[in-house]
Copies of this chain bind each other. A is one copy, B any other.
Amino acid sequence: MSRPLLQLALDHTSLQAAQRDVALLADHVDIVEAGTILCLTEGLQAVRALREQCPDKIIVADWKVADAGETLAEQAFGAGANWMTIICAAPLATVAKGHDVAQRCGGEIQMELFGNWTLDDARAWYRTGVRQAIYHRGRDAQASGQQWGEADLAKMKALSDIGLQLSVTGGITPADLPLFKQINVKAFIAGRALAGAENPPQVAQAFHSQIRDIWGE
């Protein structure tokens, strides 16, 4: 199991504000995510600008694609994204088409898990070639009080066992990390916990230090 990465999620409504946070944090994270809100307000320019600002980072287009997998993957990877998200509710044909384009472009697809998905779906995604999924408490679910619990961890373990690497998100702080010790975590995704902190690089360091303590150097 490799050491989890740290991903900065940018859910700003303005590219300028997002890029200010990137300037502060790019040296302290492994992955920079053009969040859905940012992409819907700023368009493809958000992905392009982040690629330019962070030539050496993994860039994620968090588009939660539900359809038109080929066209959208061409747009995302063409603009410089390394990974693109597809929503679990998407038809399998969309996943397969997105994955085909990803492979051709040297990119990867991440399945975004929301609502009613099943382990059979996860096995089908794996069979198309997809190797990543994102597990989260949504912002709204989180705000309405939903906590990380045994049920979440059991589902994550089952997804790991299928062969999917998981990125984990939803109000995660460094103190939460030991919860995920048994899981094949690709990345921890933090947005406001990082960018909204008084000293963002310090919080990033706290994440890395916890990750090293739990998963080793």
Give the docked Cα–Cα distance between A216 and B172 (Å): 56
Contact with B along A45-58 (1 / 0, CB 8 A): 11000000000000
Q: Which of A111-149 contact B (CB under 8 A)?
A: 112, 114-118, 121, 138-141, 143-144
Copies of this chain per assembly: 2
Q: State whether A140 and B71 are in contact (beta carbons under 8 Å apart), knowing that A36-B66, A66-B114, A115-B88 are contacts in the complex.
A: no
- Pick from A17-25, A89-97, A195-203, A206-214 the stretch touching chain B: A89-97
Q: A44 near B: Cβ within 8 Å? A: yes
Choose one: B11, B40, B114, B121; the contact of A90 (CB below 8 Å).
Answer: B114
Chain B hits for A115, CB < 8 A: 88-91, 116-117
Besides the contacts A13-B71, A93-B141, A115-B116, what 11 more A-B pairs have beta carbons closer than 8 Å? A11-B71, A37-B68, A37-B71, A40-B43, A40-B75, A43-B44, A64-B64, A64-B66, A66-B87, A87-B89, A116-B117
Residues of A within 8 A of B (CB): 11, 13, 36-37, 39-46, 63-72, 75, 87-91, 93-94, 97, 112, 114-118, 121, 138-141, 143-144
